[in-house]
Amino acid sequence: MAPPILKLDDIFLTFGGTPLLAGANLQVEPGDRICLVGRNGSGKSTLMKIAAGLAEAQSGEVFRHPSSTVRYLPQAPDFEGYDTVQAYAESGLGPSDDPYRVAYLLQHLGLTGEEDPARLSGGEARRAALARVMAPEPDILLLDEPTNHLDLPTIEWLEDELTRSRSALVLISHDRRFLEKVSTATVWLDRGQSRRLDRGFGHFEAWRDEVLEAEELEQHKLGKAIEREEHWLRYGVTARRKRNMRRLGELQDMRSRHRGHKGPQGSVQATASDAKESGKLVIEAEKISKAYGDRTIVAPFSIRVHRGDRIGLVGPNGAGKTTLLKMLTGQIEPDTGTVKLGTNLEMATLDQKREDLNLEDTLAHYLTDGRGESLIVNGEQRHVTGYMKDFLFQPEQARTPIRELSGGERARLMLARILARATNLLILDEPTNDLDIETLDLLQEVVAGFAGTVILVSHDRDFLDRTVSSTIAPANPEAPDGRWIEYAGGYTDMMAQRKGAIEERRKAEKAEKAKASDAASPGAEAPKAKGKLSYKQKFALENLPKEIEKAEAEAAKREERMADPNLFAKDPNTFAKLAQELEKLRGDLARMEEEWLELEMLREELEG
């Protein structure tokens, strides 16, 4: 086993009251890919900051290998003092780091580097921060919620990039699918202590349940042992003659352990408050469209949404998901077409920007709209502190200002308010941001069991698969052109249908090309009957290797020029032009190689 390059041992930290960390451990070895999991407020981010050297524990030991490099991705990056994203990303490089990594990462993350950090959206800020911490290829990469505000194509690229990375990883994320694909070990932070499973996140939940069941059984046995000892104290023959002080001490110790045991944090308990049933037809959109200037956001699109439908909206950032959602719900007018909303609609919306939050409000004031100490939930009057407990808030937090809550707690608070409102149409725009896995489980159950209609925007593939009955996605996700398609099922179903459609289209295009080629070649039927390639096919088979060799040589020339360590600094425009040409050459190479392989397979088939 390789020696650890980072080790946190018996970490203790408290802010008064119950300790946040009470003997937590974390050990990172070269090549580790660890996901750090636990409830919101369990201390995950704090433990990661201690590992990064940005926070100090009150006791415990922290060891970092003197020669190892560490980079930390915070949830809220600080861009103060940087004029461009390029400058911010390059500030993370060390003296011996490759500056071209910044250009490579920014390009794949969809940034030019010239953006003003003060004007970045949430997704752009997260991309810039990722480029900064990943560019040096550090020995240890600490990532706190790296997928927040990222779209699906970027999340999938990040998965591949981290899987190939030589850096040891410690990840905090709510995205199940992301953790399953990237992690190979799991550290569970629970009630201030840590447990490690040397398997990826896909095995975590079954293991966690086994641990909690064993713990419950142990507490049950301890309780029975206390009962036996208390019976001995009262009625035992020895006890009537002389107290056995050793057994009495053991009993006191057992009582102390039993009283001091803190069970696992409770689960969130909630259901959506049902309003009066809506009409059968909830939304009818007929050929609606929207454009801003020359850019088409939604090309003519039609859909009928019925009561009970659960519809997911997916696509890259900037594709127009929120615009389409607002048109469907009547919040903005389409340029063309019509939207008809059904009868008796009671709509509740969870906004991705959390704009509904006044940070100076207290929790109780926010949940009740300032109307006293109670609220109506599913037709019943509930005291606000009792309702808060359903969402894992303590009664003493009722007067706490919202600004003191963590990002996950704020998301949970907004969810509590939304689910208290009587509704039959639930609109959720990026509802999974900052939620812990247990609260996500609750939200999945709420959405799946909701009697009304749900329309949601999400980049969480697992959440979509578990909740929605149909998925709306751009027809061309690589370069959205305003065309949207509705697919049956969740994200995985959509990808399978899209793959099938692409394969069918390729087959049709191939058949059309073959037909056109045969029609253009005089006497084309004769060679086919004799089992020979057409003249055009023979020519392509003979000349494609030469073309491939030529393209490879051109690509090698550009790679050689781009390898000049001073080129990017001296002439960034030339560097960008070379990168663009290299990308095109690689695309041409892939196309020619595929064409040559198909022709070679056809030749072998015809010859025998």
Q: In what order do the strands lie in the sheet with 347-350?
A: 347-350, 425-429, 453-457, 310-313, 470-474, 484-488
CATH 3.40.50.620 is the classification of domain 521-607 = no
Q: What is the pLDDT of residues 284-320, one digit of tens each?
A: 999 999 999 889 999 999 999 999 999 999 998 888 9
Q: What is the pLDDT of residues 144-184, one digit of tens each?
A: 999 988 888 899 999 999 999 999 999 999 899 999 999 99
Q: In what order do the strands lie in the sheet with 21-28?
A: 21-28, 6-13, 59-64
Whether 597 shows a pLDDT value over 60: the answer reads yes
Whether 381 shows a pLDDT value over 80: the answer reads yes
Pairing of β 310-313 and β 336-341: unpaired
Whether 447 shows a pLDDT value over 70: the answer reads yes
The kind and range of the H/E element at 471 are strand 470-474
SS3 of residue 235 by DSSP: helix
Nearest one of 170, 155, 145 to 433, comparing CA atoms: 145
Whether 527 shows a pLDDT value over 50: the answer reads no
> CB 102: neighbour CB atoms within 10 A?
26
Residues 6+ apart with CB under 8 A from 435: 40, 174, 408, 411, 412, 415, 443
Residues 370, 372, 375, 380, Cα dihedral to 10°: -160
- Are residues 200 and 184 in contact, defined by beta-carbon separation less than 8 angstroms? yes
- pLDDT score at 255: 62
Q: Largest Cα–Cα distance of the chain, in whole Å?
A: 118
- pLDDT score at 528: 43
d(CA 173, CA 158): 13
Exposure of 339 by Cβ count < 10 A (0-12 exposed, 13-18 middle, 19+ buried)?
Answer: middle
Distance, C-alpha 366 to centroid of its chain: 28
> CB 505: neighbour CB atoms within 10 A?
10
Q: What angle do CA 21, 168, 145 make, to 5 degrees?
A: 55
Across the range 316-343, mean pLDDT stands at: 92
Residues 6+ apart with CB under 8 A from 505: none
Band of the pLDDT at 105, cuts 50, 70, 90?
very high
Nearest one of 461, 599, 475, 479 to 540, comparing CA atoms: 599
d(CA 211, CA 203): 13
d(CA 99, CA 435): 36
575 or 527, which is more confident:
575
d(CA 174, CA 435): 6
> CB 251: neighbour CB atoms within 10 A?
18
Nearest one of 33, 36, 43, 37 to 11, comparing CA atoms: 43
Percent of the chain with pLDDT over 90: 40
Across the range 387-411, mean pLDDT stands at: 84
Instruction: Write the class of the CATH domain 6-206.
Output: alpha beta
d(CA 136, CA 71): 8
Structure tokens at 235: 């009625």
Band of the pLDDT at 270, cuts 50, 70, 90?
low
> CB 67: neighbour CB atoms within 10 A?
7
Residues 6+ apart with CB under 8 A from 155: 147, 175, 178, 459
Whether 53 shows a pLDDT value over 70: the answer reads yes
d(CA 426, CA 347): 6
- pLDDT score at 390: 82
47 or 519, which is more confident:
47
Whether 266 shows a pLDDT value over 70: the answer reads no
Percent of the chain with pLDDT over 70: 85
Whether 88 shows a pLDDT value over 90: the answer reads yes
Whether 332 shows a pLDDT value over 90: the answer reads yes
Distance, C-alpha 111 to centroid of its chain: 20
Backbone dihedral angles phi then psi of residue 518, each to the nearest 5 degrees: -65, -40
Beta bridge partners of 382: 375
**pTM score of the predicted model:** 0.69
Pick the CATH number of 281-497 from 2.40.40.20, 3.40.50.300, 1.10.10.10, 3.30.365.10: 3.40.50.300
Across the range 38-59, mean pLDDT stands at: 91
Structure tokens at 187: 């550290």
Across the range 411-438, mean pLDDT stands at: 83
164: left (phi over 0), alpha (psi -120 to 50) or beta: alpha
Q: What is the pLDDT of residues 463-513, one digit of tens each?
A: 999 899 999 999 888 788 899 999 999 999 988 888 877 677 667 667 776
d(CA 6, CA 66): 10
* Helix then strand then coil, % of the chain, to nearest 5: 45, 20, 35
Beta bridge partners of 484: 474
Pairing of β 425-429 and β 347-350: parallel
Q: What is the pLDDT of residues 345-359, one digit of tens each?
A: 888 888 766 556 788
